[in-house]
Structure 1
Amino acid sequence: MPISLADKRATFRRLHESGCFAIPNPFDVGSAKALAGIGFKALASTSAGFAWTIGKADNRVTIDDVCTHLSALCAAVDLPVNADFEGGFAQEPDKVAVNVARGAKTGVAGLSIEDSTGDAAKPLYDRALAVERIKAARKAIDADRSGVLLTGRCEGFLVGQDDLTMVIDRLCAYADAGAECLYVPGIKTREQITAVVKAVAPKPVNLLIGASGLSVKEAADLGVRRISVGGSLARTAWAGFMRAAKEIAEQGTFTELAKGYPGGDLNKMFR
């Protein structure tokens, strides 16, 4: 019997109460079903991974694109899905609220709002505005009692503003504004991770691991609650695709195709 949306959301909240879990990022329905079949407890969308599937660059998709994608992911699996909701697809807090309410209706169990502007000259929203945007998202989620878990993201380390004191100050402000999970993509060292975990405790922290780094156990020992991989699974898939395609185009040979995942196994997985 399909799991109800209320159950998915309740399960997602329980996962954040103790321990540490990996929340991998599928980029389409097929990859979501594959990850669910492997045994993960929850999934998260990836803005970049999804954008590439429709031939767009990261941060160039529309809210229509994303909501259609999220609805498909949530309908495809009996697992909670967390949405990479970028910056809420708006600048003004009231418009962020409208979009968050729409995002919640796709069936997600959680969603994140980040503070990057997309403007290289001023890559982060002013602190006060960034806080108001989180408050607006919180209000929108609470308005329909959806139970969607709100994650507040500070993008400082991804845009060259890697002052950990500044980042932690923002995270604490986002927590006070209603964010229930905190996320700083780009932190890597044990010292950085430990500082963030301690600063926002007891609220849970999401850690991004995009390549070799800490294991789940090592991250758990530092107090991390959730580990996501962003667009890394999508990049891995594209790596195999591009190697094989370039070999055909440039050398006229087909040896890379032998490394593909068995078609029979894929058919069995998607029955």
Structure 2
Amino acid sequence: MATSLGYADGELIDFHRHLASIQSIGDYVSISISAEIEGGYGHDAQSIIGNVSRTTDTGVAGINIEDAFKHQPGLRNVKEHCQLLANIRATLDNHGYKNFFINARTDTYFQLEQPYEETLTRAKAYVESGASSIFIPGLTDAYEIKGITRYGIYPSNKLSTVKSIRCKHFGFGHALSDKIIAHLTKNAAQLLESRATFCLYE
């Protein structure tokens, strides 16, 4: 979504505009939508919880929320992030959204050299704090995925072989849009170089 509006990833879109885009998509599709809200677009728990509530008002069925800081390196403290997830879940429950899907993303595999044990700790804690699912981008080792699922945690994952390793679902992030943009960029370069349109019809 960020790229389509001319922004890089990382909460650079104004949140009002982000919500408007989510609402626009929801107005034209008949399937359930899970909204990406990165780290929550807030600098404290109260503002993040408020943004989650505003997101639910668009009619989405769930959110994806991350534990990585957006404007500095590092991950949120486990206890603090668990408290945030618990407060989000309590707020949703109190407002009639008991089945709302919280996909908790952990960026351990992007930020740590030896991420497995920390990932397991965070995944278990996030589920206990109200997360519906765990998203672990960068996790591709089937043995490690199976190790996590042994604890009853079934992560989302960016693999095509998810069925055999018991992932509940998988995602591809912005990989598809990146492919499309790369194709457009390549063809635009050819147009400029050749000053002809024949390359578009090959």
Structure 1 length as normaliser, TM-score? 0.69
Question: Taking structure 1 as reference, are residues 144 and 187 closer, same or farther at Cα in structure 2, changes over 3 Å only?
Answer: same
Matches within 5 A, 1:16-27: none
Is 2:91 the partner of 1:140?
yes
Residue 194 of structure 1 corresponds to: 146
RMSD across aligned C-alpha pairs, in angstroms?
1.7
- Matched residue, 1:61: 13
Report if the CA contact (8 A) 2:39-2:70 is conserved.
Answer: no
User: Is 1:240 the counterpart of 2:183 in the alignment?
Assistant: yes
Cα distance in 1, alignment partners of residues 186 and 88 from structure 2: 42
Question: Given residue 105 of structure 1, which amino acid in structure 2 is its aligned partner?
Answer: D
Find out whether 1:206 has 2:156 as its counterpart.
yes
Alpha-carbon separation, structure 2, partners of 1:168 and 1:111: 21
2-structure distance, mates of 1:196, 1:70: 32
Distance 2:170 2:201 in 1: 32
> Hey, what does 1:21 align to over in structure 2?
none
- Return the alpha-carbon distance in structure 2 between the equivalents of residues 256 and 140 of structure 1: 54
Q: Give the equivalent residue in structure 2 for 1:252.
A: 195
**Tell me, what secondary structure is at the counterpart of 1:208?**
coil
Please list every run of at least 4 consecutive aligned residues from structure 1 whose deviation after the TM superposition is greater than 6 angstroms: none
Instruction: State the distance in 1 between where 2:117 and 2:43 align.
Output: 25
**2:48 corresponding residue in structure 1:** 96
Answer yes or no: is the 8 Å Cα contact 2:148–2:154 preserved in 1. no
Alignment of 1:52-201 (within 5 A): 52-59=3-10, 60-120=12-72, 122-146=73-97, 147-199=99-151, 201=152
Higher relative contact order (CA 8 A, sep 6+): 1
> Residue 114 of structure 1: CA displacement?
0.7
Q: Distance in 1 between matches of 2:193 and 2:166?
A: 48
Structure 1 letter corresponding to 2:87: A
**Separation (CA, whole Å) in 2 of partners of 1:191 and 1:204:** 13
- Find the aligned partners of 1:161 and 1:255 in 2 and give their Cα distance: 48
Gaps of 5+ in 1: 1-49, 210-214, 260-271
Instruction: Give me the TM-score of the superposition, normalised by structure 2.
Output: 0.91
1:123–1:250 CA distance, 2 compared to 1 (3 A): farther
| AA partner of residue 91 (structure 2) | A
Distance 1:208 1:141 in 2: 28
Q: List alignment gaps of at least 5 residues for structure 2.
A: none
Q: How many residues align?
A: 200
Query: Which shifted more, 145-154 or 106-115?
Result: 145-154
Cα deviation digits, residues 74-96 of structure 1 (max 9, x gap) = 11111011111111111322221
